[in-house]
Structure formats: structure tokens, C-alpha cells
Structure 1
């Protein structure tokens, strides 16, 4: 009996609705677990009014590109101003890895897949993803009352009818839009990174130039996260603060290590920390940012406080050469070194652009009575961190050209998969 190729019905069975449900639920569940553990380590479990689940939901919403709005009120004679822009990239990375793996799993062991088939499989996930985002968006809402501090301030607040409150809610349309775009980006990136995932026949000629470079960048980013996590664990064991370290690992480790990646390339970030806010980063970075004016965060300014910062350049160089070698080893032997350099330059420039866009931080809160200043020094503050975008992207491209060329040279004698050398003929 001659075996028959799988029918369209069999293909649908391999990645139909049950698989889509499992993919969405497991991805959101993993993000929720990581967010909950990180927030617990940060002390958010002690929030009043049983707010912890809503804060977890808000964290997941921001991790997939959703928008959280802060609001405040303080009676008729007072005013509050609040804003927050930050992405918990540890939660984002967890969701991206799980969602991408779930999307690729039914497509394994395939050489080619039609465009309609891939679009149909992605559409099933999107149809389930949107209502899940909608539920999270409506769950991520809470209001907190703030204490004015000592008895004098409390009496003053009672006199003027000042009862400060701050809360958060979601921008539902923007959350659905950006959450859907995030999901689509993850699925496309999963197809680009995986060497075994099937592509439509028309796209097969492009996989030789795109897939090795995309895979190298993902390896680079994950290597930094793993390295940063190991360093954080060592610091926690030797110096204490285990719970705070766990919170950083589970909520913002990529925010920290990908920032240092760009700084090691020579990029410049500008920022300032004022008031009770802080950053999940080593003391030297926070120290530089706590200045009277906007501070410049680069290798020079950091080295003035700690000369070990120059090791970031060495770490960048070693890891970039390693992933450049990996990229060349995964490429066909006919690709020349200068072509590897171009591929690496484009890939690293796009990676740095992504880091700069998602790594921005902005937070502010202030309370004023009768329009006069902040009431109580601990109730107001602001924090921001922004990159000099195009300089960073240009430096990424330059580093990519150099390391891409140098990394390709030792990869020449490496045997590629499926390549037959004359000695084997």
C-alpha cells in the first residue's frame, strides 16, 4: 500500500482550535505566573483592597504592548498628576517564547507550508487572543488611597478636603490594537528564527539571508538575559537582598541587560531620577541619574563612578563575535564574508532600534494644593530614561559590520548541514 500525503483535513487537525486554545492559555498563564512571582517579590502582595490580581493583570497588559492610564484625585482644592510608561520585559520575553513555541509546534517536520495555511493557523490564535486581552484589560483597574504622612499633613488634608487617590485603568482600544500587533510580531519572528519552520515557497529564497541573522540576534539577547541572571544570583547569594533581586529578574532583567548592551556599543541614554522613584539597576546607574539636571548615561559618565564599566565593551565584543560565527556557520558556504557583515549590520541595527523603543522608561507623580508645589516631599517625583536613538542604531550597524566580517572568517572551514565536501564524495 502506497502511503498518501497528509490531506488538508489532517493539517487542520494538527493545528486546529484545540491547539490554538492551548497556545493562548499557556502563553498568558506563563506570563501571569512570572508577573505574579515578580510582583510578590517586589512586595505588591501587600497592596490593600485585594488589588494584587488586578496589578498582575495590568503587568501582563503592559508586557504585550497594552496601555495603562494612571489617574488621581485629591478633592476640590488639590490636584494630582501621574503617568507611567514602562514595559516589564521579563514578562514580555516569557510570553514571546511560549507563544512562539506553541505556534511552531504543529508546523514541525514540514518543509514547506502554504501562505493560506500559515495565515489560517495564525488567525485561530488571534481570534482567541483578542478576547483574552479584552478580559485582562477590564480586570486591570484599581484605585488606591494615599496617606499624607504625619499628623500635621493629615490634619491639613482634612481641613482642605484633600483625600489623595491614585489608580490605574487600561486604554482598551489601544490595548487590543497593540496587543494584536505584538502577537503578530511574535509569530512572524518565530517563523524567521526557526530553521525548521516551513515557509511558503515564494519566501524560501530569502531564508538563507534572513534566518541565520535573526537567529543570531535572538541568541544574543537571550545570552545577555542568562548572563545577567547569573550575575544577579551571585550578587544575591554574596550580598543579600534575595527578594529584591528576584523581583528584578522576574520583571525587568531584559530592561537592564539590554540597556547595558547598547551602552557597551557606545550608545548614550539621557535620564533623571527624582523623588522616591528608583530603577531596577546597579547602584552606579541610579547614582548617575540622580543629578540636578538631565544626566547622560554612557561609558564615560559611568566609568567616572566605576572603572569596571569598560568591561561592557569586552563582553559586547565577545558575544557579538560568537553570534556572528554562529550566523555564518548556519549560512550556506557560498555566502561571502562581506555579505555576512552586511547581514549582521542590518540585524544588529534593527535589534538596537527595538531595544531603544521598548527600553524607554517614564514615570511621574505629583500632588499640589491650591496650585502650590508638591505636598510632602515623599509624594512627588519623576523618572525618565530615553536613548539617543539614531546614534545608537548607527553604532549597532557599525559594530555589526566589523563583528559580522570577523566572525565569518573562522566559520569558513565549518561544515554546513547538508553540505558535501570533496573528501566525502
Structure 2
């Protein structure tokens, strides 16, 4: 996770931050990637007022950490048919102990304060006031350690449980074996779906970097927030709506069409309709969703026992996709704001402020996911009846 965060921030230009702040920004990025809480602070003196806040999860860093931790957890358990709950809990506790130590070290390191120049804000009046009264605003960030440790441990537990659900070769306690026929194929299919969108996003990003320039910025997006964009596209292709706004100097590390829709003084809806008004190619998201969801449904059905009926595949796919979309809605929220006022010049929410937020309409997205899951689960499961399922022994032919 540290390597991915370091490379992504370096590509974004964070290595040039003053006061040797780069390592601390890397630590803060890793902390936010696992659900930790970073608190922004500002101090502009008695003659000024400042306000800032940031909520975002760099999901590229999150995904890298999840894949590495899951692989490390499953490696000693491979080639086992059944494992006791105590043994699994023992391995999980060992990993959790090391994880908490590392997370505590990162949380303690993720703290920094920067000094700002009022003239850099582009307002001559503020610059003159700053020189006259000696005003030098400071902004910084610190980590809320208890919340970081709690959510980091919760994130680790989710990763380990999901690893057990997805891996066909991982052992389960005897009492849970009856659930693996319905849960494991669906969980595997959803993880494969999410990774397929990430891979597709990487390919598109590399093409953009090679043909349109801005390679450093593109690699920064790939290494820090590619799943944020790829999984957003998945939900929009389903027909979901996100509400958002971009105001002030904030910019979104995503296609220009999204910034065009969201930039303005009021909140805007982000969906297929609003995006198509700016670029008709957005309708291809529907086709991509249809193809990849059918493929995921086929994979799920093929990994399921042959006795599972078509309507059961449909229900399993609907529930799994709804839970997946809910997860995307929870981790894909973005919010950032800042403001500065000096002697009444400027406004915490006005010209010297900025705001960015992106929030989903959760229940509508889940409802659409259930509908898509029912249809694609049924259609994708039908051709799986004609192929041999995983683990199935072919019938013996009498000579």
C-alpha cells in the first residue's frame, strides 16, 4: 500500500511539498485508504477565520492492500478441505496484531502543518492585509487515532472474511460448509466483476496517457483513485444517479465531461441522461455493464453445483450485485471544502472558498442493481447448464 501511495503521490507532484512533508502525506493516504480518519485544521490568527474538510478514500491503495493481505492470509490455509473456527481465528488474530502496530505507526506519522501566503490566493487586497497585520494562515492535518484503529481493524476483518468467501480452495469450518454453494460462487463473480472494471480502466488510462499526453496526471489517477472512477462508471451504467457539485478551484481527476456536469453553484445530478447531454458515448457504459454482468453471471453459475436452478442463479446474482453496489456507494462518496475570511474580506463559502462533493442516491442504485441482477443472473446462468461445472466429475462412458 505504501508503494502504490508513494508512486501515485509522486506522479501527482506531492514530492515537491515543503518541509519534507511527502512521507507524512503518504502515511495519511494509506490511513484514509483503510477507512482511517484524517482531520484538517486551520489557523489564520485572531484577525482571520478558516475552515476545511476532506473525505475521500483512495481506492487504488485500498485495493492493493486488500489483495496482498488476502493472499498472505490464504497462503498457509491452501490445500486444506476443512479448518476449525479456532484455527482461522488464530491466523486472523496474528495478522490483526501486526496490522494494528503498523496502522498505529502510520497514524502517528500522518501529521503535518503548512504555511500559506495570502498573495498566492490571487487576491491583492488580502495580500496587503496579510503584510500589514502579519497574517500567515496555516493549514494542516492530523489523524484521529482511535477512529483510525477501529475502522482499520474493521476493514481488515472485512478483507479476511471476503478472502475466505471468494477462494474456492480456502477451508471453512464444518458448520459453514453448507453456505459455500450459494455464497462462494456469487462472491467470486462480484470480485471478478470489480477487478474487470479496474483492468478495463487501466487499459483506457494507458491509452489516454500514450495518445493525449498528461502522462504523470494519468498515472497519478491510476495509482490513487482508478477504482473510484471505474466503479462509479459501473453504477452509472446501471442507471444509478449521483448528486454532486464542483465549485472553486477544485477539480475532479476524471474525464472532463464529469467536471462539466458538476461544476456550478448548485448541486447537479450525474447519470446517463445528464452525461449524454455533453457526450453521447456515455451510452456505451450500458453495453459494457450488460456484457460484464452476463459474463459474471456465467462464471457464478459455472462455479455453482449443477443442481442449482436458473431462478436460484437469478436471485443469487441479484443479491450479490445489490450488496456490491451498496459497497460502491459507501466507499465512493467524496467530499472536500475549504474557506478563508480575513477582516471580513472573503467568505468561508464564497469566492475564497471551494467545495466538491459526490454522493449516490443509494436506494435507487440498489433497486436497479437488483433488477439487473435478476435478469443477467437468469440469462447468464442458462448457457452454464451446457458446460461442465467446476469440481464436477464427467460421467463414465461404457465401452
Q: State the TM-score, normalized to the length of structure 1.
A: 0.91
In 1, the alpha carbon distance for the partners of 2:326 and 2:163 equals 19
1:367–1:411 Cα change, 3 Å: same
Does the 8 A contact of 1:77 with 1:161 survive in 2?
no
The answer to whether the 8 Å contact 1:81/1:367 transfers is: yes
Larger mean Cα displacement after TM superposition, 246-255 or 151-160: 151-160
Q: Map of 1:7-406 to 2, 5 A cutoff?
A: 31-149=1-119, 152-374=125-347, 379-406=352-379
Provide Cα deviations, 1:163-192, integer angstroms capped at 9, x if missing partner.
111100000000000000000000000000
| CA distance in 1: counterparts of 2:93 and 2:349, whole angstroms | 52
Give the total of aligned pairs. Answer: 395
Q: Cα distance, 1:77 vs. partner?
A: 1.1
Say if 1:276 and 1:378, in contact at 8 Å, map to a contact too. no
Whether the 8 Å CA contact 1:148–1:376 is kept in 2: the answer is no
Q: Give 3-state SS (helix, strand or coil) of 2:118's partner.
A: coil
How many angstroms does 1:59 deviate by? 0.1
| Counterpart Cα distance in 2 of 1:419 and 1:126 | 37
1:58-96: CA deviations, max 9, x gaps?
Answer: 000000110000000101011110000000000000000
Shift of 1:367: 0.4
Q: Quick one: distance in 2 between partners of 1:57 and 1:424?
A: 61
**Secondary structure of the equivalent of 1:48?**
coil
Instruction: Assess if the C-alpha contact under 8 Å between 2:126 and 2:342 holds in 1.
Output: no
Q: Secondary structure at the match of 1:366?
A: strand
SS at 2:308's partner residue? coil
Give the distance between the partners of 1:424 and 1:111, measured in 2 at CA.
29
For structure 2, the 5+ residue unaligned runs are none
Runs of at least 4 residues of structure 1 off by over 4 A? 375-379
User: Which is further off, 409-418 or 165-174?
Assistant: 409-418
Could you say what secondary structure the match of 1:415 adopts?
coil
1:157 Cα deviation after fit: 1.1
Contact 2:6 2:26 in 1 (8 A): yes
Q: Distance in 2 between matches of 1:53 and 1:406?
A: 50
Structure-2-length-normalised TM-score: 0.97
Cα separation, 2, equivalents of 1:220 and 1:131: 33
Greater alpha carbon shift after TM alignment, 346-355 vs 149-158: 149-158
- After superposing the two structures, state which structure 1 stretch, 150-159 or 269-278, moved more: 150-159
1:417 shift after superposition: 3.0
Measured at CA, do residues 412 and 327 of structure 1 come closer, stay the same or move farther in structure 2, by a change above 3 Å? same
Query: CA offsets, 1:176-235, max 9 Å, x none?
Result: 000000000000000000000000011001000000000000000000000011011101
Whether the aligned pair in 2 keeps the contact of 1:349 and 1:393 (CA below 8 Å) is yes
Indicate the SS of the match to 1:59: helix
CA contact (8 A) 1:369 1:375 kept: no
Following TM superposition, by how much is the alpha carbon of 1:308 offset from its aligned partner in structure 2, in angstroms?
0.3
Other structure's SS at 2:240 match: coil
2:264 aligned counterpart, secondary structure:
coil
Question: 3-state DSSP class of the match of 1:162?
Answer: coil
Please report how far the alpha carbon of residue 129 of structure 1 lies from its aligned counterpart in structure 2 after TM superposition.
1.0
Q: 1:323 to 1:157 in 2, by over 3 A?
A: same
Give CA deviations for 1:257-309 in whole Å, capped at 9, x if unaligned. 10010000000000000111111110000110002211100000000000000
